[in-house]
């Protein structure tokens, strides 16, 4: 069955592909992603656009870069009054934050949903209050696309496909056992990256996924799950981690088991954060498909456009690269995150 999310994306009136300008417009307002809420309320002028942003958490290097990009861009100097909250990877915290933004009467709400389902009620409340909602990074699964104005972020299925294709072309020329470290259960990137990888590898009989479990997108989670995989399976050839952090955790587990990551057991991941790229340059990871976290400038542009009475496409897909060892070495000196 085709999921509601896929269907609604397919019938969307327009799908925009956006090349992200990677230079954040920083005003030096360098807040950190402390759990809980922060606000620049009171310090901005009367005309500042008030935006409530509910972040997933601080689970990964990617998330830290994404938070920084948003906080560095939606500054009071740029004309925003940003209210930021960290949901600590809990949907109930995000729903509470959104309700609080509605109660405060913010002009726009943006959020990156921790999981795909269960948003209709709170999004109906935002709609009833006439507050436009912008989805960043992750999709929601709803039949009613009028509940949000636009969704900006990567194509996660495509990311999984690109990893799967690389594995098929470069490692699947002989029989291989793959273990999969999944992202947060029920989240768009975990669902889509799994699907993309399976789609790209299904016709290669050499590739067998022998174990698959969530590591919740964290380094610690990736390490613990990998330790279990190593104990249960003596013949692991490849780790497919849904993000760099879990891949980095897997490296620790593999080394502790007396094996060489990148050599005895190959590792492929998604994100392209500095730590992941460094491990790739060092030969401990073998391939990374990028997921661009620098969504702040485009979020600011979308809000300003809407504020000026303009319209935006319902789906804006960000552009992602991919790196092997040599490409990582070349990219690292200029890497922003
Ligand atoms: O939603 C994007 C994913 O969330 C990133 O790939 C991962 O690192 C993060 O936790």
Give every strand in the sheet of 315-318, ordered side by side. Answer: 15-18, 315-318, 150-153, 133-136, 108-111, 49-55, 80-86, 36-39
Query: 302 and 276: one domain?
Result: no
**pLDDT for 30:** 31
Same domain, yes or no, for 313 and 173? no
Instruction: Please report the atom of ligand 1 found closest to the CA of residue 217.
Output: 10
Give, for ligand 1, the residue of 70, 217, 250 to mutate: max count of ligand atoms closer than 8 Å to Cβ.
217
pLDDT of 101 above 80: yes
pLDDT score, position 46? 62
Is residue 282 domain-shared with residue 299, that is, in the same domain?
Answer: no
**Domain co-membership, 197 together with 266:** yes
User: Is residue 15 over pLDDT 70?
Assistant: no
Ligand 1 pocket, CB under 6 A: 59-60, 62-63, 137-138, 189, 217, 243, 245, 270-271, 291
Q: Are residues 94 and 164 in the same domain?
A: no
pLDDT of residue 69: 98
* Helix then strand then coil, % of the chain, to nearest 5: 40, 20, 40
Q: What is the tens place of the pLDDT at every residue in 271-300?
A: 999 999 999 999 999 999 999 999 999 999
* Residues 109, 53: Cα–Cα separation, whole Å: 6
Mutate to test the pocket of ligand 1, among 243, 249, 294 (most ligand atoms within 8 A of CB): 243
Q: Do the beta carbons of residue 138 and residue 112 sit within 8 Å?
A: yes
Is 193 found in the same domain as 211? Answer: yes
Both 49 and 142 in one domain: the answer is: yes
Instruction: Give the residue-averaged pLDDT of 58-78.
Output: 98
Index of the ligand 1 atom closest to the CA of residue 189: 1
Residue 197 sits in a domain of what CATH number?
3.40.50.2300
Instruction: Flag whether pLDDT at 180 surpasses 90.
Output: yes
In a domain, 331, yes or no: no
pLDDT digits (tens, 9 = 90+) for 249-279: 999 999 999 999 999 999 999 999 999 999 9
* pLDDT value for 10: 32
How far apart are the CA of 243 and the centre of ligand 1, in A?
6
Q: How many domains does the chain have?
A: 2
Answer yes or no: do 130 and 34 share one domain.
Answer: yes
Residue 20 lies in a domain: yes
Residue 61 alpha carbon to ligand 1 centre in Å: 9
Predicted TM-score (pTM) of this structure: 0.89
- Residues 17 and 114 grouped into a single domain: yes
- The pLDDT value given to residue 38: 60
**How close is the Cα of 293 to the center of ligand 1, in Å?**
8
* pLDDT number for residue 39: 55
Q: Tell whether 26 and 61 lie within a shared domain.
A: yes
Ligand 1 pocket mutation pick from 61, 112, 247, 271 by most atoms within 8 angstroms of CB: 271
Q: What is the span of the domain harbouring residue 222?
A: 156-291
| 335 inside domain | no
- How many whole angstroms separate alpha carbon 28 and alpha carbon 30? 5
> Is 100 part of any domain?
yes
Q: Are residues 274 and 305 in the same domain?
A: no
Average pLDDT over residues 76-87: 98
Pair 99, 175 in one domain: no
Please answer whether residues 139 and 146 qualify as being in contact, where contact means their C-beta atoms are separated by less than 8 angstroms: no
Please state, rounded to an integer, the average pLDDT across all residues of the chain: 90
């Amino acid at each position: 069955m085709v999921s509601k999310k896929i269907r609604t994306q397919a019938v969307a009136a327009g799908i925009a592909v956006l090349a992200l300008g990677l230079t954040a417009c920083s005003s030096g307002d360098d807040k950190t992603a402390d759990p809980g809420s922060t606000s620049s309320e009171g310090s901005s002028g009367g005309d500042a656009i008030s935006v409530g942003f509910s972040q997933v958490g601080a689970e990964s290097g990617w998330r830290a870069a994404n938070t920084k990009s948003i906080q560095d861009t939606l500054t009071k100097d740029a004309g925003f009054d940003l209210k930021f909250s960290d949901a600590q990877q809990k949907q109930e915290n995000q729903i509470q934050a959104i309700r609080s933004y509605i109660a405060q009467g913010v002009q726009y709400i943006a959020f990156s949903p921790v999981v795909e389902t269960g948003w209709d009620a709170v999004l109906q409340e935002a709609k009833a209050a006439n507050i436009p909602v912008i989805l960043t990074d992750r999709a929601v699964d709803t039949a009613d696309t009028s509940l949000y104005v636009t969704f900006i972020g990567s194509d996660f299925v495509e990311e999984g496909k690109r990893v799967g294709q690389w594995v098929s072309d470069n490692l699947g020329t002989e029989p291989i056992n793959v273990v999969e470290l999944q992202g947060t259960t029920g989240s768009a990137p975990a669902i889509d990256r799994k699907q993309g990888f399976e789609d790209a590898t299904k016709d290669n009989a050499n590739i067998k996924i022998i174990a698959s479990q969530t590591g919740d997108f964290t380094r610690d989670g990736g390490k613990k799950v990998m330790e279990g995989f190593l104990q249960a399976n003596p013949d692991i050839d490849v780790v497919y981690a849904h993000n760099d952090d879990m891949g980095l955790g897997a490296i620790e587990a593999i080394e502790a088991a007396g094996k060489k990551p990148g050599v005895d057991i190959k590792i492929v991941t998604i994100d392209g954060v500095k730590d992941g790229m460094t491990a790739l340059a060092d030969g401990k990871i073998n391939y990374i498909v990028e997921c661009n976290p620098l969504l702040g400038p485009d979020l600011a542009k979308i809000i300003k456009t809407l504020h000026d009475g303009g319209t935006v496409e319902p789906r804006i897909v960000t552009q992602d690269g991919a790196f092997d060892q040599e490409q990582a070495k070349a990219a690292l000196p200029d890497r922003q995150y």
